[in-house]
Structure 1
């Protein structure tokens, strides 16, 4: 039964675990201020099985585990006007039927970009100081090695960024604040973006690796980006170079990377992902001394997830006030998301 209110009716369409992770008490209070919302969690089955009960719903808040927005589901929500997704990519659940309805769709991918950029920044600093290698020496009972010069965090140290999406842009902004020399590769970005970020454009990906002390990957996983980073590129890193991947494992030729890291112990890899994330305990990369690996934790974790819920609520406020959305998606832009 619809709630009695002059505000548009909204509901949470999301698995309970995702709801608890993404929307905190502050977000729930703001949703209640902006819309007519009963604070309950619903599933697609709830809606499709009793469409009359939800016939006046105009706004949906969702997140990880959102159902497929197909024609059957949408027909049960004839007044749906806006879908605010408190997570990243929407490609797994939007359909042609959804786009044909011209429903406002936003994603919190820019909020999720923040912790990934933070993780990358920490990794860059540790890489330029050779922190992991020096830690390994101490664990092996070896004396601290001060004889080999480290790059350090200042002018003259060169960092390369692959792709200038939301994460890549944040990384560049943070890096330029550290007075580093930053280079970037993105064949789809306008020259104005490189200028605004104060980074030097590199036109060929294979040229980025030999010129940079650290290369960080932030390209989306698309059919055309699979195995984008080859073993030959990684092998062209300079002495004591570091490769960072917080994007997706499929974008890197994993067999080629393993071969290079085995042949060149001076190169270091910081990997938050593998092609098959079920192989963390058995993948030979994990055992290499020149690899630092984490189990896909660069993205939003713990309280960081609340940032995504807060953005979804802010998108709703903007929508109701007739203001521009932060991350409104179209069919074309949704296809480019990681």
Structure 2
């Protein structure tokens, strides 16, 4: 019997080659379970030292049945499908793959910003319909500038910082609202912090969401926020759909309270075909693909393997999303290079 058991739970069997490259030298076995129900997840996780979550929901009822696992590791940036409060109560670390798609998501946010400002999809569709001249001239104006405009970032983690760097290269001024970000970080990135969401909404020509989804951030942005925005401003969301009150956003767009939106995420995914957002010419949509690229597809499983190795070797991981769990754990070494 191997010294360590790693349990993978997901809707489909993964290629574990890159994950297992990071476990070289360890005595382990990896058990892959394709699961559909909570009962199947609970059974698959029994006796595991580490659980690799392939995107399945793990509510408190599942977390409380974990017997031996030290950590649950996800190959994504988001971890909202796992009850992290229950994991903390259970003494289980939740580890994400923060940073594996920072450049991809930040590029996508900038792409959305530029596409909205330049009315890319509207003009693209007109030209494909054979329209040119008076029809396109009428659609072109008004067209928002980018240089000299203000970009407001809701939260200022790694992805938002990458967005700030790229937006500044386009000549934009950048502000942020993040009550958890130390002032020396915003100073380092030449970003002006603001005191409230409403101040950010009122001062921004473009707003971009970059907060994780948790109990505190669910529907963080709603009707009051959109009413505070400039009617010429655009709203971008590449983080998680439920951080925004989608009904309030639809109403704001219908009422002309904002100029348009660029959305990679929705409150419900896949979003229903009758979602009004899909019928609006001033809304650009993509299918939660901001983090995707040939690079991130490789980086994610590599990061999962590295974090698994750290946990099995007795150190803390590089990216623990419920750090308050540390008080419940035996003493561990700081994260090691693997």
- Identify if the C-alpha distance between structure 1 residues 70 and 318 changes in structure 2 by more than 3 Å, giving closer, same or farther: closer
- What does residue 106 of structure 1 align with? 95
1-structure distance, mates of 2:248, 2:11: 41
Q: CA deviation at 1:124?
A: 1.8
Q: 1:254 to 1:149 in 2, by over 3 A?
A: closer
**Cα displacement (A) at 1:89:** 1.0
Deviation digits for residues 181-201 of structure 1, max 9, x if unmatched? Answer: 111112232212211222111
Cα drift, residue 67 of structure 1: 5.4
Shift of 1:209: 2.7
Contact 2:22–2:302 (8 Å) recurs in 1: no
In structure 2, which of residues 82, 86, 106 is the aligned counterpart of residue 92 of structure 1? 82
Distance 2:150 2:112 in 1: 14
Q: How does 1:47-86 map to 2 (within 5 A)?
A: 48=43, 54=47, 58-65=49-56, 70-74=63-67, 77=68, 80-86=69-75
Partner of 1:315: 307
**Is 1:158 the counterpart of 2:176 in the alignment?**
no
CA change 1:290–1:58 in 2 (3 A) is closer
The 5 Å alignment of 1:102-141 reads: 102-139=91-128, 141=131
2:26 to 35, 46, 63: 35
Given candidates 258, 280, 283, the residue that maps to 2:275 is 283
State yes or no: 1:250 paired with 2:245. Answer: no
CA distance in 1, matches of 2:41, 2:280: 49
Aligned to 1:111, what secondary structure does the other structure show? coil
- Is 290-299 or 135-144 further displaced after alignment? 135-144
Matches within 5 A, 1:267-306: 267-277=259-269, 279-300=271-292, 304-306=296-298
> CA offset at residue 40 of structure 1?
4.1
Which string of whole-angstrom CA distances, capped at 9 and with x for unpartnered residues, describes residues 66-91 of structure 1?
756545431xx3xx545433233166
The one-character-per-residue Cα deviations of 1:3-46 (angstroms, maximum 9, x if unpaired) are: 3xxxx5242322262x52xx553332332x14223454147859
Gaps of 5+ in 1: none
Question: 2:10 corresponds to which residue?
Answer: 15
TM-score norm. by structure 2 comes to 0.75
In 2: Cα distance, 1:214 partner to 1:222 partner: 24
Unaligned runs of 5+ in 2: 327-338
Q: Does the residue aligned with 1:145 lie in a helix, a strand or coil?
A: helix
Counterpart contact for 2:105–2:159, Cα < 8 Å: yes
Aligned-residue offset at 1:289: 1.3
Deviation at 1:279, TM superposition (A): 4.7
Please point out which of 177, 185, 189 is paired with 2:181: 189
**Hey, what's the Cα distance between the residues in 1 that align with 2:224 and 2:152?**
16
Instruction: Spell out, residue by residue over 1:261-283, the C-alpha distance to the aligned partner (whole angstroms, 9 max, x if none).
Output: 23439811112233334553112
Name the stretch that deviates more: 285-294 or 319-328. 319-328
Residue equivalent to 2:197: 205
DSSP 3-state at the match of 1:229: coil
Q: By percentage of residues, which structure has more helix? A: 1
Q: Distance in 1 between matches of 2:175 and 2:45?
A: 55
Report how many residues are paired: 315
The residue aligned with 2:319 is 327
Is contact 1:9–1:36 with CA below 8 Å preserved after alignment?
yes
Mapped partners of 2:50, 2:44: distance in 1: 19
